[in-house]
């Protein structure tokens, strides 16, 4: 097959059908090709069946994908509602939220930062401390 020739399945099927449509003319002049023409007809018939099966499953895939997207949106909304309730129960900055898969809000003002955690830059080596 020349490289410029169309290799799509539809074009190939048209070429096979053209040969099969002229089957009687071909076997009249070249009777030894009857077996190959029969094999081509069987292959073309199986290809049609497989293409129909492929189209059926492509439709089913689109259907299932739509259901998955719909259920995923519903699950995200439900998780959001549950998260809102947990934040209301424990507080927006509570570390309890982590165990449920939610990120607590970071403290924003200096008075909200816990005092029990020393600043790691206080004892930075190489700095002269005035005492």
Residues 81-117 have pLDDT tens digits of 999 999 999 999 999 999 999 999 987 766 655 556 6
Residue 5 corresponds to which tokens in the numbers above? 């020739």
* pLDDT score for 11: 94
* pLDDT score for 108: 72
pLDDT of 51 higher than 70 = yes
* pLDDT score for 76: 97
- Summarize the confidence of residues 62-88 as an average pLDDT: 97
* pLDDT score for 117: 60
Whether 26 and 19 have beta carbons less than 8 Å apart is answered as yes
Whether 63 and 39 have beta carbons less than 8 Å apart is answered as no
Q: What three-state secondary structure class fits 28?
A: helix
User: Where does the pLDDT of residue 55 fall: very low under 50, low under 70, confident under 90, or very high at 90 and above?
Assistant: very high
Whether the model pTM is above 0.75: no
Torsion of CA 84, 90, 94, 99, to 10 degrees: -80
Q: Within a 10 A sphere around the Cβ of 102, how many other Cβ atoms?
A: 19
* pLDDT score for 107: 74
Tell which wins on pLDDT, 125 or 22.
22
- Summarize the confidence of residues 19-39 as an average pLDDT: 95
């Amino acid at each position: 097959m020349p490289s410029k020739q169309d290799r799509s399945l539809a074009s190939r099927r048209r070429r096979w059908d053209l040969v099969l449509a002229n089957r009687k003319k071909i076997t009249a002049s070249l009777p030894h090709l009857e077996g190959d023409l029969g094999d081509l007809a069987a292959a073309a018939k199986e290809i049609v069946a497989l293409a129909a099966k492929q189209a059926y499953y492509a439709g089913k895939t689109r259907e299932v994908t739509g259901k998955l997207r719909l259920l995923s949106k519903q699950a995200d909304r439900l998780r959001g509602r549950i998260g809102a309730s947990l934040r209301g129960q424990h507080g927006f900055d509570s570390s309890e939220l982590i165990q449920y898969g939610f990120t607590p809000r970071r403290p924003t003002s200096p008075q909200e930062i816990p005092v029990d955690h020393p600043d790691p830059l206080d004892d930075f080596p190489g700095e002269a401390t005035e005492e």
